[in-house]
Amino acid sequence: MSFSIRTYGDPVLKSKAAEITEIDDKLVTLCDRMFDVMFKAPGIGLAAPQIGIQKRLFVYDIGDGEGVLINPEIVESDGEFMYEEGCLSIPGLYVEMLRPARVHVRGLNLDGETVDVEADDLLGRLFQHELDHLNGVLMFDRMSPDQRKEAMAAYRRILEAPNSQEPQHIAFK
Ligand code: NI
């Protein structure tokens, strides 16, 4: 079975993913596949719904090792941090978004053990972004109506010129 990355407009990206109740070999294999898809993209994070699997799971690697979080939740967050985000499901669009600076995320690893991770900067942002995917939330949903209009227009420009490969960066005033 091969997986492709679902992009904006696919209803699976708007739906809430289901809690994982069993960590078995199939889930380990799924994670392997997700890493393959993520590295090939290339990307640094991928949530299961992005390949059409409605399970609460994401994989990531920001350059210091592979990580998997199952049924993750944010148990604490604080601060504010403006940082540019991209999304493999909205390819080519990079938008500066304001979110909490630090998060404490709790989930399970593939051995079924509870893991607690505190993260800021890129990893903190990645966790919040991937967790959003598990709740059917995309970057567009985190914007004001005016911001969304601007970002959608930029994304449309990307879709209309798919061969230009010209990324669109947006920073809202
Ligand atoms: Ni994304």
Domain residue spans in the chain? 11-170
State the catalytic residues. 130
For residue range 107-157, what is the model confidence (pLDDT) as tens digits? 999 999 999 999 999 999 999 999 999 999 999 999 999 999 999 999 999
**Residue 101: predicted pLDDT:** 98
Report how far residue 117's alpha carbon sits from residue 105's, in angstroms, rounded to the nearest whole number: 5
Compute, in angstroms, the gap from residue 89 CA to the centroid of ligand 1: 6
What's 11-170's CATH class? Answer: alpha beta
Compute, in angstroms, the gap from residue 21 CA to the centroid of ligand 1: 24
Compute, in angstroms, the gap from residue 115 CA to the centroid of ligand 1: 22
Compute, in angstroms, the gap from residue 44 CA to the centroid of ligand 1: 10
Q: How confident is the model at residue 168 (pLDDT cuts 50, 70, 90)?
A: confident
Flag the least confident range among 6-10, 111-115, 167-171: 167-171
**Residue 3: predicted pLDDT:** 86
Residue 156, classed as helix, strand or coil, is helix
Report, as an integer, the average pLDDT of 24-50. 97
Q: What CA–CA distances, in Å, run from 16 to 65, 114, 135, 145?
A: 28, 22, 4, 22
Compute, in angstroms, the gap from residue 67 CA to the centroid of ligand 1: 16
Residues across the chain: 173
**Residue 15 contacts by C-beta under 8 Å, 6 or more apart in sequence?**
49, 54, 136
Q: pLDDT at residue 162 above 90?
A: no
Q: How confident is the model at residue 164 (pLDDT cuts 50, 70, 90)?
A: low
